[in-house]
Structure 1
Amino acid sequence: MKNIILSAIAMAFVMVSVNAQSKKVPAKFSIDKIVTNYLALKNALTKDDTKAAASAGKTLYANFNAVKVNTIDSKLKKNYLDITESAKEHAEHIGDNAGKLEHQREHFVLLSKDINDLIKLFGTKQKLYQDYCPMANEAKGAIWISEVKDIKNPYYGSKMLTCGSIKKTL
């Protein structure tokens, strides 16, 4: 009798365990693709390449539109939507203004703040740096996110490529 009871308990445990494993756990939402495309945009601006910046801006805009917001934790969804409403506008402006480097850089100031906010909200697998240029944004200063320790300033490009400093590691 003991063996039957123990066997029944063991069988119930195995079935519960198998059932729990068969349920799919939803994938954690990631902003890695957004960050990758932001970095491509930043790198184009460091080279004063308005066409590449416009192309990267359009790609970034498309990335924002492709996000399935239902995959975002409900506690974070509103913040995500607030941040990306602004970020999409700036990515779109950059994408629509090839040949207008200064205009692209003005929008990049605000886009960088939005991307920084997204990284704070969701984190990232990649080691990133928050860099700062005190002269950008009409001498009010501005941040940008970089994947390399070396300063490559997207706000001044070839004029002052190494102007700036690392504020923190993300």
Structure 2
Amino acid sequence: MKKIVFGLLTTLTVITYSCNNNASNKQTAEQTPTTQLAEDNTEVKMVKASFTNVDAGVATYMKQLTDNYLQIKNALVGGKAEEAGNAAKKLSAAIKGFDKSLLAADQKKVYDQYEAGLKENAEHIAQSSNNLEHQRERFADMSEGLYAVVKAFGGGKTLYHDHCPMAKNGNGAMWLSETKEIKNPYFGEKMMECGEVEEEIQ
């Protein structure tokens, strides 16, 4: 009888240990995909320009437009309204000097949707060298337009589409950057790191 009881106790001990061990393994296995899923959710979406057959003159113009825009962005990050205004003047001049005959018909149709808005916002930023907040408001609108143009034609370099949910009184606003590091043009040093990278545009 003692042998039977001892045998039963031994069997129960082994079963209990095995169940606990399996539960532990199961928990570990369930945690791993959750961690990977969280990492997957933070991945940056890769975007390539829609038009691959862009004229060399158009490509040069798009790079100039992007460079002028980035000068405005960097000036706003630093809270330098006068620098932002000067860069906006260059962007406005670039738009005025662009030969649209270099665009194919389908390309012109896309570009024409955003040209007037880019020009208007550039002029407002240029004329507001003593009003940083107004420049930032106009920059938010400009960013939307340039984002669409860059997605269509490319910007001559890798760009990052950033978004800050706190900008524009909590309505959120986006901007383009040449670096992955977040430097917020809407708040500057007040909230320099507010935002996240949403896309990488080639």
Would you call these one fold, judging by a TM-score over 0.5? yes
1:89-104 to 2 correspondence within 5 Å? 89-104=120-135
Indicate whether 1:36 and 2:67 are aligned. Answer: yes
Aligned residue in 1 for 2:173 = 142
Q: Which residue matches 2:89?
A: 58
- 1:59-74 matches, within 5 Å, as 59-74=90-105
Number of residue-to-residue matches in the alignment: 145
Residue 115 of structure 2 aligns to a residue whose secondary structure is helix
Code of the residue aligned with 1:168 in structure 2: it is E
| Bigger Rg, structure 1 or 2 | 2
Task: State the alpha-carbon separation in 2 of the partners of residues 75 and 142 from structure 1.
Answer: 28
Counterpart of 2:56 in structure 1 is: 27
- TM-aligned CA deviation for residue 41 of structure 1: 0.4
Name the structure 2 match of 1:159.
190
Structure 1 residue 158: deviation in Å? Answer: 1.3
2:114 to 67, 79, 83: 83
Structure 2 letter corresponding to 1:73: A
For structure 1, which runs of at least 5 residues remain unmatched after alignment? 1-25
Q: Partner amino acid for 2:58?
A: F
Residue identity matched to 1:80? Y
TM superposition outliers: structure 1 runs of 4+ over 6 Å? none
CA RMSD of aligned residues (A): 1.1
Post-superposition CA distance 1:12-70 (Å, at most 9, x none): xxxxxxxxxxxxxx635221110011000000000000000010111111111111000
Identical residues among aligned pairs (%): 39
- The residue type paired with residue 114 of structure 1 is G
Unpaired segments of 5 or more residues in structure 2?
Answer: 1-54
* Higher RCO (C-alpha 8 Å, min separation 6): 2
Aligned partner of 2:148: which letter? Answer: D
State the partner residue of 1:108.
Answer: 139
Secondary structure of the 2:179 match is coil
Confirm whether residue 130 of structure 1 aligns to residue 161 of structure 2. Answer: yes
